[in-house]
Structure 1
Amino acid sequence: MADRTPHTRETTQQLKEDLRHLSQTVEELVSATADDSRNNIKELRERAEKRLNETRARLEARGERAYHDARDTVTQQADACDRYVHDNPWTSIGIGAAVGVVVGMLIGRR
């Protein structure tokens, strides 16, 4: 898990920078519309659209990566649990029974 922390920081930093660039471009677009200079507006609008599309693509890619990482982690945890149950069947039965007793006692109190 410790090896993911730098990746998470890097991703967060990149996201902040992407949003900062996008924000700057939108601010430039807003200030350019005050001039009402058609060429300037068109150029800034194209840049804003380009940055928006780039940011959207990066966010989608990061979302896909996060989904795959989470799916892989859950799969690994499920496999580890499955191995533990197969390696220690009586311990697993004991743990399940103990949890069942506790849940039964809690339900019975109501």
Structure 2
Amino acid sequence: MANRAPHTHETTQQLKEDLHHLTQTIEELVSATADDSRSNIKELRDRAEKRLKETRDRLESRGERFYGEARDSMEHQVDACDRYVHENPWTSIGIGAAVGVVVGMLIGRR
């Protein structure tokens, strides 16, 4: 897990930069619309569209990667839990019973 902290910080920093560039381009586009220079507006619009597409692609890629990492982690945890239950069935039954008693007590208090 310690390996993910630098990766997360790097990803967060890249996301901030992407959003900053996109915001800056959109602000330029908005301020350019105050001018009546059609070529300037078209150039800024093209840049804004390009940055928007790049940012969207990066966000989709990161989202897919995060989903994959979370899915792999969850599968690993489920496999570890399944192994534990198969290796220690009576302990697992005891833990389940204890949790059931606690939940029953909490529900009974209402």
How far residue 106 of structure 1 moved from its aligned partner, in angstroms, is 2.2
TM-score by length of 2: 0.95
**Deviation per CA, 1:4-42, whole angstroms, max 9, x where unpaired?**
111111110000000000011111111111111011110
Instruction: Give unpaired runs (5+ residues) of structure 1.
Output: none
Matches within 5 A, 1:77-88: 77-88=77-88
Paired position in structure 1 for 2:101: 101
TM-score by length of 1: 0.95
Paired position in structure 1 for 2:30: 30
**Superposition RMSD in Å:** 1.0
AA in 1 matched with 2:77? Q
Paired position in structure 2 for 1:41: 41
Percent identity, aligned pairs only?
82
Tell me the number of residue pairs that the alignment of Structure 1 and Structure 2 aligns.
110
How far residue 107 of structure 1 moved from its aligned partner, in angstroms, is 2.4
